[in-house]
Structure 1
Amino acid sequence: MADNASGDTAGDALPRERKPSNTALAKQRAHIENLMQNVDKPIELPQPGSKKPLLKPPPEIVLNVRGSSAGAGSSDFHTYRELRRKEHLRIKLMEAEAAEDAIGEEFNREREALKRQDEEKTAKNRAKRQKRNKAKQSAKKSKPAEKAALPVADE
């Protein structure tokens, strides 16, 4: 009890250390600090991937050809279904690419039209501004000429 009278308690002697927080900001901060410790080390950035899935073109030569007297075998339906699925996927991707191209072309057309309108408006305003400035300049030049042209009245 005498220890408590002096004001020292066991809890006040050493404060507990906090655990590092596990937030995204803390992770990013730690990552940046690690990068800054090794400034000379080059950073390897991943290359951006292609947006479009690559499909093989349809086969030119069909390898599983049936004979003229052969009937449908047990695996023919599954083979047909797989070929049909691949062809439908290929057509769907081609249509999506065509639609994306059409949207891009439409966007570019609209952007060019807006750009042309802006340029026309700018040219019109430039012409008005130049005309106004030319009128001011001619007014300034004509004022001294008018003063000189006025006869001075001698009394």
Structure 2
Amino acid sequence: MSSSGRPSAAAVASGDLQIVSASSDKKEISALPNNSSTALVEYTPPVTNQEDEDLEVKLRRIIDCVPVRVNNTSGSSAGSGSGDFHQYRQMRRKEQDRLARMDVDFQKRKQVAEFNKRREERLIAAEERTAKKRLKRQKKKQKKQEKKMKLEVAGNHEQHKEDKSSDEDHDSGNDE
């Protein structure tokens, strides 16, 4: 729009304006979509894509939740005053310290993660060795018990034979 209230020729040519004719009759004005308004031009919001709406919601949430820290920002004429260099140096030192702390924190987290990984591997390996040795001990114990059982069975069998033979001897000795 120009200062006279008329639309510019470029705006009319590009189709940005919609002109709706309305008569002075109230009946025809009431036929307009918005009954409460007597405007000649009705605004219709653009149709948005669902993905675009999601991105806008995320962007608003980020803007609302993430704090913005602006400390002593320098203007376009930074460095012109005698005290500006000291402010610049202080801001630079703070930023360097912050980055150094972030690097140290990252390295610590990385070391802890590597340590935990190695520890888990060592525990698994130790458990495997323990299970193998446990199985070996159980087999050895089982063989020992089987050997003992065989000796007991053999001993009982021999004792049983001796008992029978001694009973036979006693029976034959009583007859005489």
Structure 2 Cα separation of the partners of residues 145 and 61 of structure 1: 92
Residue 84 (structure 1) shift:
1.2
Residue aligning to 1:61: 70
For the pair shown, the structure with the greater C-alpha radius of gyration is 2
Residue 63 (structure 1) shift:
4.5
User: What code does the residue aligned with 2:133 have?
Assistant: N
Mark the CA change 1:107 to 1:59 in structure 2 (over 3 Å): closer, same or farther: same
Residue aligning to 1:129: 137
Size of the aligned set, in residue pairs, is 95
Q: How does 1:5-154 map to 2 (within 5 A)?
A: 60-64=69-73, 66=75, 71-72=77-78, 73-74=80-81, 75-149=83-157, 152=161, 154=165
Residue aligning to 1:37: none
Structure 2 Cα separation of the partners of residues 77 and 102 of structure 1: 37
Give the aligned CA root-mean-square deviation in angstroms.
Answer: 2.7
TM-score (norm 2): 0.45
Residue 62 (structure 1) shift:
3.4
Which consecutive unaligned segments of at least 5 residues does structure 1 have?
1-57
Which consecutive unaligned segments of at least 5 residues does structure 2 have?
1-66, 170-176
User: What code does the residue aligned with 2:77 have?
Assistant: G
% same residue: 33
Moved >4 Å (runs of 4+): none
SS of 1:106's partner is helix
Residue 116 (structure 1) shift:
1.8
Deviations 1:33-62 (A, max 9, x none): xxxxxxxxxxxxxxxxxxxxxxxxx97133
